[in-house]
Amino acid sequence: SLNDVISSVSFQMFTNSDEAVINKKLPKELLLRIFSFLDVVTLCRCAQVSRSWNVLALDGSNWQRIDLFDFQRDIEGRVVENISKRCGGFLRKLSLRGCLGVGDSALRTFSQNCRNIELLSLNGCTKITDSTCNSLSKFCPKLKHLDLASCTSITNLSLKALSEGCPLLEQLNISWCDQVTKDGIQALVRSCPGLKGLFLKGCTQLEDEALKHIGSHCPELVTLNLQTCSQITDEGLITICRGCHRLQSLCVSGCANITDAILHALGQNCPRLRILEVARCSQLTDVGFTTLARNCHELEKMDLEECVQITDGTLIQLSIHCPRLQVLSLSHCELITDDGIRHLGSGPCAHDRLEVIELDNCPLITDASLEHLKSCHSLDRIELYDCQQITRAGIKRLRNPKPLLLGWFTFLYFCPTFELLNMNSESLSHRSTHEK
């Protein structure tokens, strides 16, 4: 296991392999350069080959970036401690994502040994508590990116500690840390003015007051995720829009209280917006999206799933004013018709930009929409789950005229004629027993 490999590399009995040809032919500088491209497991194995390779493999310059996620997630705390001792001040980036066995004690040792760490992911390390953030605050002043998602024992005390010792923090993910309240957010943003990314998904205690602190103290903010923060309203989000003019990505999916006032505020204050996710925000209408589209011309991705009031009017405005649109979800937007798709298919984003369009559970969509999308040469995926009026003949016409369409994937689960059709296959394939 990785535990054994990392823990044992300094206790090997080496043979005469130091006399190997490769060690005689290649200078140490070149071998060190080769080792710099190896992952942590391979480095540990190389360290067991010979004395000279042990020295080279364990050279701190090879241990600046470590991601254990792809190798082993059940590592023990002692492995983190050993890594920190070997890397010391060289280590800049470490991902322990999903390492459930790592706790506060190991991370205290890590913090003491790796004081130049800039990026640390503890996503899913559910054993850690506020004690870890106290250690980071005390020993790691250069920390810029910290991921604490799903570390559910984290409280406001962690944010207060980070605010005191990590003033360079630029990105923080505390998604699903549902003990955090406005007091923790206030302490954080007042002392970390360079914050560019805040991921607060599932922090269900956050209210508008927390957003007001963010809007007042985070002028550099680029990305904000507030998914399922169900208590927030227009009042708090408008403060964000007015204070964070550089905002490029906003997720408020599941925030059912918001209205068109948010779309107006975004249009008036955040012209650089590229990503907007407002799934299940059922109070939004064409009026708000019209203002947004006319002012935010850099929009690339929009998730409008279950925005049940929007009609073709929204698509018309997007087709005219948003030439960079690449991904558009209209799932469960039951008022969308073929006419809206016709405008989208003839708009400036259609020819080279649009890559994904999700139309599942849009009951008014017919084969005519597929005809309108033929001009979208960059399209990778169309989703048409439960679109009862889509037929096999329509799919064939979509695929056959242009060879470029061979790369498309069309998903048609629950359609009456077939369940799945893969446009990338040499021939049309399906699982249904009957055709139209």
- Give the other-Cβ count within 10 Å of 89's Cβ: 11
Is residue 94 one of the residues assigned to a domain?
Answer: no
3-state class (DSSP) for residue 11: helix
Is residue 129 one of the residues assigned to a domain?
Answer: no
Both tokens of residue 414? Answer: 């629950």
Is residue 134 one of the residues assigned to a domain?
Answer: no
Alpha helices in 256-376 (DSSP H): 260-269, 286-295, 312-321, 338-346, 367-372
Residue 406 pLDDT: 37
CA distances from 252 to 199, 303, 421 (A): 11, 10, 32
Query: Where among 62, 87, 111 does a domain terminate?
Result: 62
Residue 61 pLDDT: 80
Instruction: Find the CATH number of the domain harbouring 290.
Output: 3.80.10.10
Angle at alpha carbon of residue 360, lines to 298 and 342, rounded to 5°: 55
Is residue 241 one of the residues assigned to a domain?
Answer: no
Residue 304 pLDDT: 98
- Write the secondary structure of 193-244 as one string of H (helix), E (strand) and C (coil): CCCCEEECCCCCCCCHHHHHHHHHHCCCCCEEECCCCCCCCHHHHHHHHHHC
Is residue 382 one of the residues assigned to a domain?
Answer: yes
Name residue, tokens 């942590």: 40
The Cα–Cα gap between 343 and 316 comes to 6
Query: What are the residues whose beta carbons fall under 8 Å from the beta carbon of 171, sequence distance 6 or more?
Result: 144, 145, 146, 195, 196, 197, 198, 199, 223
Is residue 50 one of the residues assigned to a domain?
Answer: yes
Both tokens of residue 54? Answer: 């042990």
Strand partners, 357: 328, 382
The Cα–Cα gap between 176 and 151 comes to 7
Q: Where in the sequence is the domain holding 369, given as residue range(s)?
A: 267-436
The Cα–Cα gap between 215 and 167 comes to 18
Q: Which amino acid is at 246?
A: R
Residue 431 pLDDT: 29
Query: Where among 26, 45, 62 does a domain terminate?
Result: 62
3-state class (DSSP) for residue 410: strand
Is residue 56 one of the residues assigned to a domain?
Answer: yes
Is residue 434 one of the residues assigned to a domain?
Answer: yes
- Give the other-Cβ count within 10 Å of 226's Cβ: 28
Query: Where among 29, 46, 62 does a domain terminate?
Result: 62
Q: What element of type H or E holds 427?
A: none
Residue 56 pLDDT: 84
Q: What is the mean pLDDT of each run of 10 residues along the chain (436 residues)?
A: 54 51 76 85 81 81 78 79 88 93 96 97 96 98 98 98 98 98 98 97 98 98 98 98 98 98 98 98 98 98 98 98 97 98 93 93 96 90 91 79 46 46 35 32
How many domains is the chain built from?
A: 2
3-state class (DSSP) for residue 67: strand
Residue 410 pLDDT: 56
Residue 58 pLDDT: 77
Measured between alpha carbons, how far apart are the two ends of the chain, in Å? 55
CA 284 vs. chain centroid, Å, equals: 24
